[in-house]
Structure 1
């Protein structure tokens, strides 16, 4: 398995099946243009097998942490450690960039994500509640 940090729109488009929806070119360009945004893709025999994205966030009294935004592994590659390898690679990148930590959020019944994050060293944070603001997109 080879994990590559992605900087080209074409690589994202070629791995579009790994995302929840087809990548939008403008959003992809904006994401890749920001050095605080990270996209890693795992390849098995040059086939995109999985991806993970992360976004650095900095606060004046805390420093910089990395938010693991999304993890996706193609169905045919699940159960081979691709997700764990991607999460671990993103954590390594966060350390290299002097982030004090990394975090993510998922549904409480998402057993695959919880298992993957746990195998990669993540632990649940007790007592947290996720709140969302959903702005209509036209």
Structure 2
């Protein structure tokens, strides 16, 4: 397995089956160009097998932390440690960038995700409620 940072929209397009929907070139460019955004792709025999995205978030009284935004492993490559390896690679990159921590929001009934994050060293910080504001895309 080879994990490397995506640098071009073409790399994201090639990994499209790992995403929830179609990869749009304009959104890909915006993501990749934004400071503090990171997309790591795991390749097995040259084939995109998994991805993790992270976004640095800074606050004046807290410093900078990494949010694990999304993790996906292709169904045919699951249960091989790819999700754990991607999560650990993102954590290592967060540390290299000077982040004081990393966090992820996960549904409490998503047993596979919870097991992956625990195996990658995440600690349970308790239950929290999440609220959202749907805003129509431009």
Count of residue correspondences: 138
Deviation sequence 1:86-108 (CA, Å, 0-9, x none): 00000000000000000010111
Q: TM-score, normalised by structure 1?
A: 0.96
Instruction: Report the alpha carbon displacement of residue 136 of structure 1 after superposing the two structures with TM.
Output: 2.5
The answer to whether structure 1 residue 40 and structure 2 residue 27 are counterparts is no
Q: 1:108 to 1:13 in 2, by over 3 A?
A: same
In 1, the alpha carbon distance for the partners of 2:2 and 2:104 equals: 23
Gaps of 5+ in 2: none
Greater Cα offset, 14-23 or 126-135: 126-135
Instruction: Report the alpha carbon displacement of residue 125 of structure 1 after superposing the two structures with TM.
Output: 1.4
Structure 2 partner of 1:79: 79
Deviation sequence 1:56-109 (CA, Å, 0-9, x none): 000000000000000000000000000000000000000000000000101111
Gaps of 5+ in 1: none
Deviation sequence 1:96-132 (CA, Å, 0-9, x none): 0000000010111111111100100112211422121
Q: TM-score, normalised by structure 2?
A: 0.96
The structure 1 segments of at least 4 consecutive aligned residues displaced by more than 3 Å after TM superposition are none
3-state DSSP of counterpart to 1:79 = coil
In 1, the alpha carbon distance for the partners of 2:87 and 2:18 equals: 15
